[in-house]
Chains A and B, each alone.
Chain A
Amino acid sequence: MSSPSQHADLSRTLRWVLVGAFLGLVGLMLVAGIAALSDLNHLHDTELTARHSFLQRTQAISVLCLSIESYNQTAERYAASPEPTHPDLDRMEHLRSEITTVLASYPGGRESDDVDALHAIDDLFAQQRSLFEQMFTWPPEQRRLRAVATIHRDIEPLQISILEWSDRLRSSGDRELHTADQAMLAQFSSVQTSLTRSLVLALGSGLVLVLASMLYILQLERQTQGRYLELAHSRGELERLSARLVDAQESERRNISRELHDEVGQTLGALLVDFGRLSASLSNAPPDVRGQVERMKAVAEGSVRSVRNLALLLRPSMLDDLGLVAALEWQGRETSRNSGTEVDVRAEGVPETLPDAYNVTVYRLVQEALNNAARHSGARNASVKVTCDGGRLVVEVRDDGRGFDPKHTRGLGILGMEERVRRLGGRLTIDSQPGRGSAVRAELPLEPNA
C-alpha cells in the first residue's frame, strides 16, 4: 500500500525525469546536427581545394606543352629562314623563361613521380634547346640543307619524349584527384554513418520518451478519474444524507404537530368545554368561587392557544386540510398580522391535490422567504405568486425591502430552500441587490401524473 503523499512524490519525480529526458533529447539532436553541418562544411572545403589544385596542374601541363610546342615551331622557323629575325629570338627567350617558371612553380605535392617527370622534361627541353642553339651557329646554307633532317632525326624524338613525360605528369594529377575523391567519399560516408547513428538514437530515445509520457498521462488520467468518482460518490452521499435529514425533519415536525393538536389540544379543548359547563352551573355560587373557575378557564384558554400556535408553526394544518393555496394565503395573512410587511398572495392554476413533497417544498420556501422579508429586510410589501403552467410549478416571492447580496449572504435558510428545490429536480434563483429588494424564484418540474 502506498500513501497518497508517497504517490504524489513519485508522480512529481517522474514528471521531472520526463522533463529532463525531453531536454536531453533536444540537446542531443542539436549537437548531432551541428557536428554534421561542420563535417559537411569541412568536406566541401577539401573538395574545393582538391578540384582547384587539379585544375591548376592541368592548366600548368597544358601551358608547358603549348609553350614547348610553340618554342619548337619558332625555333624551326628561325632555323629554316635565310634571314633570322630578332622577334623570333625574343619570343624564344620569352617562351624559355615561361617554361622554366612553369616547371619551377608546378603545383601540388612534390611526389617522386612528379619530380622525376619534371626533371626529365627539363632535361629533354635543355637538350632540344642546345641542339637548336647549335643549329643556329651553322651558316645559312648548311642550315637550309641540314636543318629539317636534324630536326626530324634529333629533335622530334625529344619532343615525343617530352609529350610522354607530360602525359605521365597528367595521369599522376588524375590519380591524385581520384585519391582525393576516394578520401572524400570515405569521409562523407563516415559523416553519414554518424548522422544516421545519432538520428536513430534520437528517434529511439524519443520513442521511449513518448511511451513513458503516454504511460504517465494514462496514469494521471486514471488517478483523476478515480478522484472524480470518489468526489461524485461522496457528493451523492451528502445529498442523500441531507435529503434524508429534510425528510426526517418534516416527518418529525408533522408527528409532533399532530400529537400536540390531537392529544394535548383536544384534551385542553375538552377541559374548556367542561369549564364552560362548570361556570354555567355555578351561576349561584359565591363570587370568589366563580372568579377562581374563570381564572382556571383563562389559563386553559391560554394553553390551548399556545399549543395551537406551536402546532401550526411545526406543520400548518391547512396544508393537510385545505391544500397548498389556502396554506400560503394563511401564511401571508399571518405574516401581515405579525409584522409590518403586507403580503399579497396570488395563485393561478395550481392543482388542488399536489404530492405532499411539492406542498411542503413550496410552503417552506414561501415561509422562509416571507420570514426573511419581514424580519431582516424590513419590507413594506411582499408578494407571493404561484403559477402552474404545463409541466411546472413556478413560485415567486418578491419584496421591497433592503435586499442583500446573494453571492455573499448565504444563510442556512437559503441553503435549505436550495436543498428542497433540488430534491424535486427544480431550480432556485435569488435575485437581490442591496437597496433593491429581493426576488426568490423556484421552478419545479411536475411529474406527468402529478
Chain B
Amino acid sequence: MRKIRVLVADDHNLIRAGLRLVISQESDFVVVGEAENGRQAMEKARELKPDVVVMDIGMPDLNGIEACRQILESLPDTQVVMLSMHSDEGYVLRALKAGARAYLLKDSAEADLARAIRAAASGKSFFSPAVAKLLLDDYMRKLERTGAEDSYELLTPREREILQLVAEGKSSKDVANLLKLSVYTVETHRANILQKLNLKSVAELILYAVRKGIIS
C-alpha cells in the first residue's frame, strides 16, 4: 500500500519533533521533510511534492496561511492540515479561504492529527472538535441574541444534500455524478444555497457546515 507522504512545517523544534513522532507511529504515513518557516515550507513542498502538508499557522517569514495559498497554487493535488493555537473563526475562515482542508488545534493535535491527515489525504474536511464547538456556539448565540431565523430552514432537502457534499470537499462534477444531476443544475443549486445563507464563498460555506454540525 502506498504511504501518505507528509511534510511538517513548524518554527519550533520541539513541536516539530513531537509531530514527527506522532506521524511516524502510524504505519501508513511517512514524513518526507521538515520546514521551519513558511518560505522553506513552500520550497520543500515544490521539491518533495508531499500528499499532505502539516503547517503551523503562525510562522516567521511568510505565515502558514500565505504559504498554504502559494503551495496550493503550484500543487493543486496537495492537501494542507493547518495547525493553530487559535480556535477563532477569523483564523479558520482565512485558512479555509487559503485552501486548507483540515484545521487542528495544537493542544489536541496528537489525538486528532492522524484522523485529520487521513481525511485531508482523501479530500475531506476535518476540524478539531473544540473549533467546531466554538463555531457552533458563536452561531447559536448570535441567532439567540438577534432573534434571527435559522437560515438552514430555508433550504430544500436537495439543497441540504448538496450543501453537505460541497462542504465535504466534493467538486460540482462529483456532486453531479453522485446525485445523477447535470453539472449546470448543481451549479444553480450551489448559487441558491450561497444566496439563501448569505454566504460569499465555498470557504464560508464549509465554515457554516461545521457550525451546523453537518460535517466535523
Segment of A63-71, A321-329, A354-362 in the binding face: A321-329
Q: Are A273 and B25 in contact (CB under 8 A)?
A: no
Q: Which size bracket describes the interface of B in this complex?
A: 20 to 34
How many positions in chain A have a CB within 8 Å of any CB in the partner chain? 32
- In the complex, are the beta carbons of B90 and A322 less than 8 A apart? yes
Q: Which residues of A contact B141 (CB under 8 A)?
A: 336-337, 342
Nearest-Cβ distance from residue B125 to partner chain A, whole angstroms:
20
Interchain CB contact under 8 A, A318 and B91: yes
In the complex formed, the residue of A with least CB distance to B106 is: A269
Contact B15 A317 (CB under 8 A): no
In the complex, A308 Cα to B85 Cα: how many Å?
8
Contact: B90 with A342, CB < 8 Å? no
Is the beta-carbon distance between B65 and A336 smaller than 8 angstroms?
Answer: no
B63 in contact with A321 (CB, 8 Å): yes
With an 8 A cutoff between CB atoms, is B202 at the interface? Answer: no
Contacting residues of chain B (126-142) with chain A, CB-CB under 8 angstroms: 137-138, 141-142
Main secondary structure of the interface of B (DSSP, over half): helix
Interface hub of B15, B19, B21, B141 (most chain A Cβ within 10 A):
B15
Query: Which residues 11-25 of B have a CB within 8 angstroms of A?
Result: 12, 14-15, 17-19, 21-22, 25
In the complex, are the beta carbons of B91 and A266 less than 8 A apart?
Answer: no
Q: List residues of chain A with CB within 8 A of the CB of B155.
A: none
Contact of B110 among A266, A273, A318, A327 (CB under 8 A): A273
- The answer to whether the Cβ of A267 comes within 8 Å of any Cβ in the partner chain is yes
**B111 part of interface (Cβ distance < 8 Å):** yes
Selected from A261, A273, A274, A342, the residue in CB contact (under 8 A) with B85 is A261
Contact, CB under 8 Å: A266 / B12: yes
- Nearest neighbor of B12 in chain A, beta-carbon distance: A266
Is A262 interfacial (CB-CB < 8 Å)?
Answer: yes
For B89, the closest partner residue in chain A by CB is: A333
B123 within 8 A of A: no
Instruction: Give A262 to B138 CA distance when docked, in angstroms.
Output: 28
Cβ contacts under 8 Å, A327 to chain B = 90
B33, CB-defined interface residue at 8 Å: no
Let me know if A265 and B85 touch, CB within 8 A.
yes
- Is A304's CB within 8 Å of the partner chain B? yes
Set of chain B residues within 8 Å of A266, measured between Cβ atoms? 12, 14-15
- Known pairs A330-B88, A342-B146; A277 contacts B94 (CB<8 A): no
Contacts A318-B91, A336-B138, A336-B141: A269 and B107 contacting too (C-beta < 8 A)? yes
- Tell whether, in the assembled complex, residue B86 and residue A317 are in contact, meaning their CB atoms are under 8 Å apart: yes
Known: A322-B94, A333-B88. A273 touches B109 (CB 8 A): yes
**Complex formed: what's the CA distance from A280 to B145 in Å?**
42
Check if B58 is an interface residue, CB within 8 A of chain A. yes
Are A277 and B25 in contact, with the CB atoms below 8 A? yes
8 Å CB contacts to B: which residues of A239-270? 261-262, 265-267, 269-270
Convert B1-32 into 0s and 1s, putting 1 for each residue whose CB lies closer than 8 angstroms to a CB of A.
00000000000101101110110010000000
Task: Please judge, given known A-B contacts A321-B57, A330-B88, A336-B142, whether A272 and B107 are in contact too, CB under 8 Å.
Answer: yes
Chain B residue contacts of A262, Cβ below 8 A: 12
Provide the residues of chain B in CB contact with A380, threshold 8 Å.
145
Contact call B146/A270, Cβ cutoff below 8 A: no
Residues of chain A in range 330-350 having any CB-CB distance to chain B below 8 Å: 330, 333-334, 336-337, 342
A298–B157 Cα distance when bound, in Å, is 42
**Does residue A301 face the partner (Cβ distance < 8 Å to B)?**
yes
Chain B residue contacts of A15, Cβ below 8 A: none
Q: Which residue of chain A has the shortest Cβ distance to B145 in the bound complex?
A: A342
Can you list 27 contacts pairing A with B, beta carbon distance less than 8 Å? A261-B85, A262-B12, A265-B85, A269-B106, A269-B109, A270-B12, A270-B15, A270-B17, A272-B106, A272-B109, A273-B21, A273-B110, A276-B109, A277-B25, A301-B107, A305-B107, A317-B85, A322-B90, A322-B94, A326-B91, A326-B94, A329-B89, A329-B90, A336-B138, A337-B137, A342-B141, A342-B145
Binding site for A on B (CB under 8 A): 12, 14-15, 17-19, 21-22, 25, 57-58, 63, 65, 85-86, 88-91, 94, 106-107, 109-111, 137-138, 141-142, 145-146
When A and B form their complex, which 3 residue pairs have the shortest distance between CB atoms, in order from nearest?
A276-B110, A273-B18, A270-B14
